[in-house]
Chains A and B, each alone.
Chain A
Amino acid sequence: MVGRKSLVKRLLTVDLPMLAILTFTLGPYLWMLLTSLTSEDRLFTEGPSLVGATIENYVRLFATVGFLTNLVHSFIIAAGTVVVGLTLSVTAAYSFSRFSFRGKRYLLLQFLIINMFPVVLLILPLFVMMRVLGILDTHLALIIANATVAIPFSVWMMTSYMNGIPRSLDEAAMTDGCSRLGALWRVVLPLCTPGIIATGIYIFITAWNEYLYALTLGGRNVRPITVAIQTLIGEYEVEWGLLTSGGIIGALPATILFLIVQKRLISGLTQGAVKG
């Protein structure tokens, strides 16, 4: 009897409220999914429903709107940002995690402070700078812009992962004749691989989702998915079936990747508390 009573209590105080919060959390997403599966002419007569579900909106998205090109642009930019962000921060993270030196605290904090500045403050001068350099509307421009977020983030995350690897391991490698960099390359990096992958995936997601830089510094030749979706909103104002299918496709890669790495990422994020 006691067990049953506490089960009822648990259902009322934990399961039900949790379900309510999840409904609020997932409701808008599921509503978008449902809308995207409803054909355009039924949408306004009967509203979104699973009855007569169709993928015609998705077909149209790729056939007539040309969403595939936008996906490719997004992929190039996000992958490029991952490469730049990770390679530039590996040695920096190693330095922060293994040495103590003058100015360490300030150098570490300068990476933290970067993510605190308003995007507007950076976006205007970056635009001017890239116009002078003639790289506006290229993949490079957007990779550079996204790197402003990715590098500091990656330095912080990798430093915290490397801190978790005992120094005695690099010292052992060095007594066996490895140089400092050899120890980093052969011992520390392989052990950090899960952390590096999680960091890389998070950078990928952020760059994939990024919108303001893409709009300002790209937009004509280089049109990542986020800009394409926003243009859809302007062009196909009332065709919600098409619009929501664009939203689903645009959100899909990030959502899947996030669900895969969420556990490891969150432990890293909450330790470092780097970025929202």
Chain B
Amino acid sequence: MLRQETRDAGIAVLLGEGVRKAEERAARYDKAATWAVWSFAGVAIGILAFIIGTIFFRGITTALTPSFVFGKPQAIQAGGGIWPMIVSSFYLAFLTIAIVLPVGVGAAIYMSEFAKEGWITRLVRFGADSLSTVPSVVFGIFGMVIFVIYFGLGYSLLAGALTLTLLNIPTVMRTTEEAMAAVPHSYREASMGLGASRWETVKKIVLPSAMPGITTGTVLTVGRIVGESAAIIYTVGLFVRKIPTSPLQPAAPMAANIWHMYTEGALVSDWMRVANGEAAFLLIVVLVLNLLARLLAKVYQKKLGTKEAR
């Protein structure tokens, strides 16, 4: 009898020991996992910092001076600048926005305010999803076939802008739809209750309230356009040295020109320097646009007193 009790007590002690060990091991794993995810995030941020740091450092130490930024590119001798490329990048961006913004916002208005769920909306969503997954180089050669050759636009800012419109429709649509979804339903009901039509409600109530989201989305889209290269080298061009004056002229936006410098660089003896400077300048433009978008969102948020969604 007594023996039985002793044995039970012994088992209890052993079990307790096992549980303690398991707990210890769990705590060890927990610590290791915590450490691991900290280092993963550290690596991710480290990569970002390293890339930005390297590009800036190279650009600033080798190239970025006012005479480089505002200078004329050279065909053969060293010492050329990139001003026409900068102008081309922004020209292309504004031309694209001028086309994609009305179309994308219009599509978003239809999807969120007018359409009933059905086969049309399903087709549109499928189209937008597909467009956002198709590689940009495919857009590029499609634009080349249809806009450059078939419509006879030649290598031109317009052909590039039309190509980039297709590329950016899904993003503009999505950001606009999100912005409109954030407008409370009571606004619409109030407006329509007062006798306004659906379109009047959209125009006077929904769009103005969604404007902050649309503006932020547009600034981010400008950033994407300025950074895009694969879709434009066979629609806009990549080695023109003139400042474009008409949408029907070819141009060489920065992103395309960096690639050109690297593929055909030997033409200019200081191609490394030009590409370094151009990469740094392009990165600065993109970062500034990102910050601007964030700043705009914050300003609007304060003005409207609403909380940011995320």
Interaction A to B: no
- Point out residues on B near A: beta carbons under 8 Å: none
- Point out residues on A near B: beta carbons under 8 Å: none
